[in-house]
Structure 1
Amino acid sequence: MHFHQLQRGTADRIRNRRVNERTGDEVDLSDIVKGYDTGDEYVLVEPEELDEIALGRSRSLDIAGFVDLAEVAPIFFDRTYYLGPRGAEYGKVYNLLEQALAKAGKAGIATFVMRQHEYLVALKAENGILTLHTLHWADEIRDPNKEIDNLPGRAKASDKELKMAEQLIDALSMRWDPDEFHDTFQEKVTAMIDAKQAGETVEKAEPAAEPTGVVDLMEALRASVERAGSPKPTGGKATASGKAGAEKKPGAKKRIRSAPKEDLSGLSKADLYKKAAAANVPGRSQMTRDDLVKALSSSRT
């Protein structure tokens, strides 16, 4: 979404201008040069001077070597670019490098200059093409242990707490499908604009859930696991009637589907989403609160 800036109460656009702070006069872009403040004076640098000292480097990648991709921590990655061959005569070289990188499972680490900045990059093979990922320099990555003064350190959790946390992760495990996730805020902005244009009222979002302030970790984990759903039945144990545990599955399934008959309309959207995740309701990330209520109600019938 892109908005223009307007003066309140008018349809007048607001423009950003380059103004000489001493005279107040507007300055043309061609009359602007870069200046480095040394303290006593400005050292002036023309745009073409920056191009001259980086001449040629922005036309090629200087590959320093190849590394296993797993060695590059995700925090170093910044932006991704798609690469293509410069011309038809470079197609064979392009394909050779792409196939070799894919087979080796490695990435080329290189540097190049773009828009008067030198970049550290990783060259990868992905789905038959070459991609270029700009990387942060090492001195741009901050040490969280130095930046955050209230980290808990290696606080020891009990075996029971760890097992309960693992159960929660297992209960909420899902297959990664990026198409299930959308920028819902952008969708709401679009809906708000449509509603305002039609003279309709704008539906406000549900208030954010308040922090529970829970100190008892085991109780919090237990409640989360219960909301996420019961663990999968293991089977194998005999029942009181002497039947094999495997025959308990239909009963357990019936209990999970029929028992929760609370009034869903009284739950917050966050709680409804948790129930939808536990029930594996498709498309839940795009649903409104009312949609979640309907989907959960239909899944229990």
Structure 2
Amino acid sequence: MRAIWKGAVTFGLVNVPVKLYSATEDHDVPLHQVHDADGGRIRYKRVCEIDGEVVPYEHIDRAYDDGERTVVLTKKDLADLPAERDREISVVEFVPSEQIDPIMLDRTYYLEPDSKSTKAYVLLRRTLEETDRTAVVKFALRQRTRLAALRVREEVLVLQTLLWADEIREAAFPALDEPAKVSEKELTMSAQLVSSFEADFTPEDYEDEYQVQLRKLVEAKLESGESVDTAATFGEAAEEDGEGADVVDLMEALKRSVAESKSKSGSRPASASKTASKPKSGSKPQKAG
């Protein structure tokens, strides 16, 4: 991994030098656009509307338009902003971990100690662990001021950027203004259904089926030299979603679900319900696109 930012976590008089790394990567099969008539690559060009010339990226600045006037902001203008020059991840407060609403979570980064002595890093990590608190921090990254949650994951400090409060939309649905009445019997049956699906979450048991199928399609086309029938590659097409299906009684649906779940759980391993197929041993990992 390559560090994308260097700075320091600061709280009080404690300074923890760190390097920032992206904790996630995209595994999607990389695709690009082509002309359907001849397969020619479709590319986008940055063209100036005044002189019609293609402009290299290094000569492109940013601008703000208020409808009547345009203000051009150069790369130097943006780089000289105080927040952009700041190389500190400043702890604003330590809050109970459960108060961080998951809907606010955005991107995740790892923090690596950037010092010969890891004492300050370990001190902060253990403090978060033993107090069961999450540090709310502010820092600047890629020309944006970020709010983030600093927590511990497997002995490593993890930084998860947060959406700002005004970026979270309000869920206002008129249909929920008067909640439907649910009987105790329906709740009991629903709880039984949940119980029949109970398991410990193991992320490795799941796979991105669309990307697996897409890679199979690409490989099949490469092997054939031209094209293949999609149904022949993946088997019979999945049944259409029953959008026009009759509305069934909620209680009856719960009973059927519980009964079906019990019958299935007795005939196959619990992990089988998580994924239809596991990756074959020795298979090559997918590269990030």
- TM-score for both structures, normalised by structure 2: 0.76
Aligned to 2:102: 74
Q: Residue in 2 aligned with 1:36?
A: 64
Unaligned runs of 5+ in 2: 1-28, 278-289
Specify the code of the residue in structure 2 equivalent to 1:287.
A
- How many Å separate the matches in 1 of 2:128 and 2:192? 38
Distance 2:62 2:157 in 1: 35
Q: Structure 1 residues 105, 144: closer, same or farther in 2, change over 3 A?
A: same
Aligned residues: 241
- One-letter identity of the residue aligned with 1:16: Y
1:130 and 2:161 matched: no
Q: Secondary structure at the match of 1:144?
A: coil
Distance 2:251 2:83 in 1: 62
Matches within 5 A, 1:100-119: 100-119=127-146
Q: Is the 1:35–1:44 contact (alpha carbons within 8 Å) kept by the matching residues of 2?
A: yes
Distance 2:166 2:251 in 1: 40
Alpha-carbon offset, residue 189 of structure 1: 0.7
Deviations 1:177-219 (A, max 9, x none): 1111111111111111122222354225412441444242111
- Superimposed CA distance per residue, residues 97-132 of structure 1 (whole angstroms, 9 cap, x where no aligned partner): 011111111111011110101110011112111000
Q: 1:113 to 1:52 in 2, by over 3 A?
A: same
Instruction: Summarize the Cα distance change of 1:153–1:76 in structure 2 as closer, same or farther, 3 Å threshold.
Output: farther
Pair 1:169–1:9, CA change in 2 (3 A): same
Residue in 1 that maps onto 2:43:
15
Closer/same/farther in 2, CA of residues 107 and 281 from structure 1, 3 Å limit: closer
- Matched to 1:154, the amino acid is P
3-state SS in 2 of match to 1:84: strand
Q: Answer whether contact 1:182 1:285 (CA < 8 A) is retained.
A: no
Partner of 1:280: 269
Judging by fraction of residues, say which structure has more strand: 2
Measure how far apart 1:8 and its partner are: 1.9
| SS of match in other structure, 1:63 | strand
**Larger relative contact order (CA 8 Å, sep ≥ 6):** 2
- For residue 136 of structure 1, report the CA deviation from its aligned partner: 0.6
**Structure 1 residues 167 and 55, CA gap change in structure 2 (3 angstroms):** closer
Flag structure 1 segments of 5+ consecutive residues without an equivalent: 230-255, 257-274, 289-301
Is 2:121 the partner of 1:94? yes
1:55-98 deviation line (CA, Å, top 9, x unaligned): 56541111111001101111011111000122214x11111101
Larger radius of gyration: 1
1:48 is the counterpart of 2:76: yes
SS for the counterpart of 1:190 is helix
**Could you say what secondary structure the match of 1:202 adopts?**
helix
What's 2:247 paired with? 214
**Which position in structure 2 is the counterpart of 1:202?**
233
DSSP-derived class of the 1:155 partner: coil
**Among 167, 172, 179, the residue aligned to 2:204:** 179
Residue 265 of structure 1: aligned partner: none
- In structure 1, the residue matched to 2:167 is 140
TM-score normalised by length of structure 1: 0.73
Deviations 1:34-66 (A, max 9, x none): 111122210111122122113565411111110
27-36 or 59-68, larger mean C-alpha shift: 27-36
8 Å Cα contact 1:172/1:277 also seen in 2? no
Per mean C-alpha deviation after superposition, the further-off stretch among 201-210 and 103-112 is 201-210
| Larger relative helix fraction | 1
Within-5 A mapping of 1:141-160: 141-145=168-172, 148-151=173-176, 153-160=178-185
> Structure 2 counterpart of 1:178, which letter?
P
Give the superposed CA RMSD: 2.2
The one-letter code sitting in structure 1 at the alignment partner of 2:91 is I
